[in-house]
Amino acid sequence: MVRHNNQLPDNLPQLQNLIKRDPESYREEFLQQYQHFLSVLDVFRLEPDKESKGLCESMMFLAQVAQCYVEELKTFPQTIVDLLKTHSTTLDPGMRNTFCRALILLRNKNLISPLDLLELFFELLRCPDKALRTFLEGHIITDIKNMNAKHKDMKLNSTLQNFMYTMLKDANPKAAKMSIDIMIELYKKRIWDDTKTVNVIASVGCFSKVTKVMVAALKFFLGTDEENEKESDDSDKEVDLKGIMMTNRVNKKTKKRKRQLDAAKKLYNQAQKKKTKAVSFNFSALHLVHNPQGLAENLFKQLQNGNERFEVKLMHLDMISRLIGIHELFLFSFYPYITRFIQPHQRQVTRILQFAAQSSHELVPPELIEPVIKTLVNNFVTERNSSDVMAIGLNAAREICIRCPLAMNEDLLRDLTMYKNYKEKSVMMAAKSLILLYREQIPTLLAKKDRGRPTEASVEIKPKKYGEVQALDYIPGTEALLNTSPAVEIDNDEEVNNSSDSDWVDVESDEELPEPKKGITMIKQSPEDDNSDDDGDSESEGEWETDSDAGSDSSDDEEEEAPKQKKVKTSNEDRSNNKQKGSKKQNTESEVKHNERKQTEQNVTTLTSKEAVQELALTKIFTDADFQRIEQEQIKKKMTHNSKKRQLEKEKSEFVKLDDIEMIYKKRKTDKEARLESMKKGREGRDKFGYKDNRHDPFCSKTNSEKRKNKNFNMIRHKARGKVKKSFREKQIALRKHLMHMQKMK
């Protein structure tokens, strides 16, 4: 076959396309190009610092068709690797980038082992080429992610991690920084999220002599766990499926609208699945540190001996405080060190207060944290400071005491609680939050008037001593399950102590009280079930005797007890007016049955002991409904006698939020746009402001005073000048003249 206009030797893209379609037919052309590549390569080795476009074109051509001639190009990948290892620093940046792209093409076709290629790319990170380093970083992360997509290759990962360990200690700061960035990114993508990666970053990165590497490692531990990948914007949008379906029903049916409706249904289903999906917890890297005590001590030593800038010191303090708080470490020299920075004029003082709170926990001796609180109170909670500073000081003291309640002594606490009546609302609210905290923790430290009304929960509170652990062998609140009646949730004040309203008997009604049956005993109501506030009225209720001869006696007793019950009725008449109508026609059997049920409930409650609750916890499998009743019982315990809900105990978290310290109860100043918007909202539905012209005929003539408003000032300046008010001196002279004139007239 004769080929006319053969341009294949000069047109490499065309030859590449033809070879991929039929490799055997174009083997001669390929061998010709391969020989050309070898000859150009020999010329390049003579002057490796010069750019060679022919070599780059031939290399990319061979990399594209390498899968078609595997035997002929067996040594081709190693040739490129040797070139990069030998001349990596002297190569032209464009040629070096081309060589790397060729190797990536060969890696995608499995013609070079991933370990050899990744080790080469890690060595190339030493090159002074920022664009190349960024390109290689992206490829390394993507390649390792793809290798671990189906299952994690532990052997390969371990080898790469060991190589990365040596790269972090590299003398070249750029290579070390890029290596730690790659490790952190792989951890965030949950590819290298094991303890080995975390401890390599902790032991090498946090103590690197290169400041950028050290800062990157500290930020890694201080940063919150991010999600594996960001969700797409479409899935986050809330879909109004009902509105879209209504629109589709009304409008004309088209294929486009049908596709839009199907897409909306799909997004809606994804959003519903996302809501119902269980939350997957990813523990912070700080939990995976093998030796947190040693890490905290070494970081604190580095902080004291180092001479880094203030922001880096804050990172050290933050990480040390988090390690102490999470792992409950003992680092006694940390507290006097941080006390030096607790001053209102200190830069980033709120963050330093946050670190002081994070480093507090129950196992730290209170004698160490007490000086911190005293310094905080003396420097912040004084009237020479502004109200915001005082509120921040009280908030910081509260956050410290949440984690270590014993650090506050009684005298200091009572001094701080005096600010509950302070004139500024921010200080007042901060002091009240401290009072509420110690109502839950140690009520005895508060003054009697600050303890609030006693509740079941406050009575059960036993202040823990230092180092004491209260281990419970039962679930608190399970006594609610021993009661046969379902738990009732209390929402408002009107539903408390209304259990006895259904038992009310109207004394003033014309119907006679039903006589009790023989053998049935009337159970005396307890003060808890009785609505009356008078103890004497509750004691006046007698018992019906079971003797057969007690008929006449009971009738006499009824006549004597009627006035007393009438007093009770009149005292609570307003409350029971609406409820007594439904209970007028109750018969004796239902009343006695209700009283018997009340008595059995009281007996069960009194018999509820620690042994019964323990046995219930060991023998019963709790359901969701049971846990809901237990939670209701616990909330009920923390309510005062008149059913006013109190602020529950604040749960201590691993980290202290900066907003909890900077939380100031005051109306913030709004910007101009917000003020204008509020003004416009206030004008809605209101008459137009300004001068109102109430004339019947708007076209009639105006008065001179109205015309004067629109005149130029120069026209009426002579009149305005005469209306200037007299000065005090002029009035004094005029008064003297008037008095002298009056005296002459006499």
The pLDDT tens digits of the residues spanning 257-269 come to 888 888 887 777 7
Residue 256 has pLDDT above 50, yes or no: yes
**What's the rounded mean pLDDT across residues 443-462?**
77
In a domain, 647, yes or no: no
Tell me what pLDDT residue 514 has.
Answer: 40
Q: Do 266 and 308 fall into the same domain? A: no
Q: Which of 397, 420, 455 is the last residue of a domain?
A: 455
Residue 539 has pLDDT above 50, yes or no: no
| Neighbouring C-alpha atoms within 13 Å toward the C-beta of 185 | 15
CATH number reported for the structural domain that contains residue 90 in this entry: 1.25.10
Residue 454 banded pLDDT, cuts 50, 70, 90:
confident
289 and 306 Cβ atoms separated by less than 8 Å: no
In a domain, 716, yes or no: no
Report the distance separating Cα 672 and Cα 460, nearest Å. Answer: 53
Q: Do 530 and 484 fall into the same domain? A: yes
Q: Do 258 and 302 fall into the same domain? A: no
Report the distance separating Cα 69 and Cα 538, nearest Å. Answer: 105
Q: Do 196 and 253 fall into the same domain? A: no
Residue 407 has pLDDT above 80, yes or no: yes
Q: Do 174 and 258 fall into the same domain? A: no
**What's the rounded mean pLDDT across residues 600-619?**
63
Q: Do 27 and 165 fall into the same domain? A: yes
Closest CA to 608 of 524, 484, 486: 484
Q: Do 97 and 170 fall into the same domain? A: yes
Q: Which domain holds residue 451?
A: 291-455
In a domain, 263, yes or no: yes
Tell me what pLDDT residue 662 has.
Answer: 84
Q: What percent of the chain clears pLDDT 90, i.e. is strictly above it?
A: 22
Closest CA to 81 of 41, 112, 58: 112
Q: Do 193 and 267 fall into the same domain? A: no
Residue 504: strand, helix, or coil: coil
380 and 389 Cβ atoms separated by less than 8 Å: yes
Q: Do 326 and 449 fall into the same domain? A: yes
pLDDT per position as a tens digit, 76-122: 989 999 888 888 888 888 888 899 999 999 988 888 888 888 888 88
Flag the least confident range among 318-322, 456-460, 649-653.
649-653
Neighbours of 359 (CB within 10 A): 28
Q: What is the count of structural domains for the chain?
A: 4
In a domain, 741, yes or no: no
In a domain, 419, yes or no: yes
Report the distance separating Cα 264 and Cα 242, nearest Å. Answer: 10
Neighbours of 210 (CB within 10 A): 18
Mention every residue, 6+ apart, whose C-beta is less than 8 A from residue 339. Answer: 371, 372, 375
Q: Do 179 and 30 fall into the same domain? A: yes
The beta strands (E) that lie in 299-410 are given as: none
Long-range contacts of 288-294 (CB under 8 A, 24+ apart): 288/194, 288/195, 288/198, 288/199, 289/198, 289/199, 289/202, 289/323, 289/327, 290/195, 290/199, 292/323, 292/326, 292/327, 292/329, 293/327, 293/329, 293/330
For 312-342, give one letter per residue: b (16+ CB within 10 A) or e: bebbbbbbbbbbbbbbebebeebbeebbebb
Q: Do 191 and 248 fall into the same domain? A: no
Tell me what pLDDT residue 276 has.
Answer: 56
Q: Which of 612, 637, 662 is the last residue of a domain?
A: 637
Report the distance separating Cα 555 and Cα 571, nearest Å. Answer: 25
pLDDT per position as a tens digit, 508-538: 334 333 443 333 333 333 334 443 344 434 3
Tell me what pLDDT residue 238 has.
Answer: 52
Report the distance separating Cα 484 and Cα 480, nearest Å. Answer: 9
In a domain, 450, yes or no: yes
**pTM, full prediction:** 0.62
Q: Do 448 and 495 fall into the same domain? A: no
Flag the least confident range among 128-137, 383-392, 462-471.
462-471
Residue 229 has pLDDT above 60, yes or no: no
Report the distance separating Cα 81 and Cα 78, nearest Å. Answer: 5
Q: Which residue has the higher pLDDT, 174 or 353?
A: 353
In a domain, 196, yes or no: yes
> H helices of 381-527, where?
387-403, 410-417, 425-440, 456-460, 479-482
The whole-chain average pLDDT of the chain stands at 76
Neighbours of 133 (CB within 10 A): 20
In a domain, 81, yes or no: yes
Report the distance separating Cα 460 and Cα 454, nearest Å. Answer: 10
